[in-house]
Structure 1
Amino acid sequence: MRRLRPAHFVLLAVACCALPALAQQADQLYTATHEQLEVTKTLLEQQAAWNKGDLAAYVNFYKGAPDTIAVLAAPVHGLQSIYNAYLVNFPNAAAMGSLDESEVNVRELGDNFALATGKYQLTRNKKAGGDAMGTFTDILEKTDRGWRIIYSSTT
C-alpha cells in the first residue's frame, strides 16, 4: 500500500479547491446579464473599428462630452481632443496595427454605468512602432446612442 506524502495532500487540496472555481468560471458565460453582453458587444465593435484602421469610428465609441476622459500619455478631455491625441500616435492603419482584447470582465455599476477591464495586445511591424501589450480599464455609460466610454485608461 502506498502512503500519501504531505505533498500529495497539498495537491489534493488544491484540486478540490480548483474544481468549484473552474465550474464557476464556466457558469459566468451563462449568467452574464443583458447589459454585460451589450457592453461586451460595444467593446468588440470598437475593436473591429480599430482593426479596420478606422480611428474616427474607434473614437466614436467614446461619449461626445467635454468631461469624457482618456488617459493616454496624460489625461485627455473631450472627444475631439481624444481623437487628436490618438491621431498623433496612430496616424494610419499601419500604425494602428491589429488589436486583440482578452480576459475582458464587465461589471455593472448601477443601471446606466459599467466597468470593463481586460488585457490588450497590439500587433504591428517594427517600422510602425512594434508590438505593445498591457491592460485597459473603461467606464461606460448607457446613452441614447448605446454604451459609450466616459473614462478609459491603458497601461
Structure 2
Amino acid sequence: MKNLIFMLFLLASSQLFAAPDDQTQIRALLAGQQQAWNRGDLDGFMAGYWHSPQLRFASGGEVTFGWQQTLDRYRSHYRDKAAMGRLQFDIREVHLYGDHAVVFGHWQLYRQKDQPQGLFTLLLAKLDGNWYITADHTSSAG
C-alpha cells in the first residue's frame, strides 16, 4: 500500500512539474507567431500550426481545413506588411490536458487606418515533443 501511495505521489508530482514547461512552450510558440507576423513573415507565423490537411481554422463565418489552405487564406487577406500591421496577443488562459491544451486569448492588429481586434480559442496537441495548433477559432469584435 505504501508503494502504491508513493507511486501515485510521484505521478502527481511529475504532472505538476511538467505543466509549467508545457505552458512555457505554448506561450513561446505564440510569442514566436507574434514576432513572425510583425516581421511580415506568414510562413514563420504558420510554423506554429499543425502541418496537416486536418488543421481546422474558423474565422469570419468560414471554416478552412488544411495547413496550406489556411496559409493561402492568410495570404489572400493580408497581402502586404501594411495589411498585416503589428499584432499583439494577450494570452488569457492556458489549460493543459495531458498532451493537449486549450488557449483562450485576445488579439489586436495595429494598422495605419484601423485597429481590428477580437478573441481566439486554440486547440493544441503535443506531437513528437512539440506543441502545434490543431484548431483555431478566431473572432473579430468589429
Shorter-chain TM range is 0.7 to 0.9
Higher share of residues assigned strand: 2
The list of structure 1 runs, each at least 4 consecutive aligned residues, that deviate by more than 3 angstroms after superposition, is none
Q: Residue 127 of structure 2: which of 143, 152, 155 is its match?
A: 143
2:84 is the counterpart of 1:90: no
Give the Å deviation of 1:90.
0.5
SS for the counterpart of 1:139 is strand
Aligned to 1:10: none
Structure 1 unaligned blocks of 5 or more: 1-31
Distance 2:26 2:93 in 1: 10
TM-score (norm 1): 0.73
Which residue number in structure 1 is paired with residue 4 of structure 2? none
Q: How does 1:109-148 map to 2 (within 5 A)?
A: 109=97, 111-126=98-113, 130-144=114-128, 146-148=130-132
- Deviations along 1:56-97, one digit per CA (max 9) or x if unpaired, are 111121101111111123110000000000111101111110
Among all aligned residue pairs of Structure 1 and Structure 2, give the percentage whose two residues are the same amino acid. 31
Quick check: 2:91–2:103 contact (8 Å CA) kept in 1? no
The structure number with the bigger radius of gyration is 1
Q: 1:72-124 CA distances to partner (integer Å, 9 max, x unpaired)?
A: 23110000000000111101111110011114311002x21111111111111
Q: Distance in 1 between matches of 2:80 and 2:88?
A: 18
Alignment of 1:107 onto 2:95:
yes
Determine the C-alpha separation between the residues in 2 that align with 1:152 and 1:145. Answer: 20
CA distance in 1, matches of 2:56, 2:110: 25
C-alpha root-mean-square deviation of aligned residues, in Å? 1.3
Structure 1 residues 76 and 145, CA, compared in 2 at 3 Å: closer, same or farther? Answer: farther
Give the Cα–Cα distance (whole angstroms) in 2 for the partners of residues 107 and 56 of structure 1. 27
Q: How does 1:9-28 map to 2 (within 5 A)?
A: none
Q: How many residues align?
A: 120
Question: Does the residue aligned with 1:131 lie in a helix, a strand or coil?
Answer: coil
Question: Which residue of 2 is the match for residue 53 of structure 1?
Answer: 40
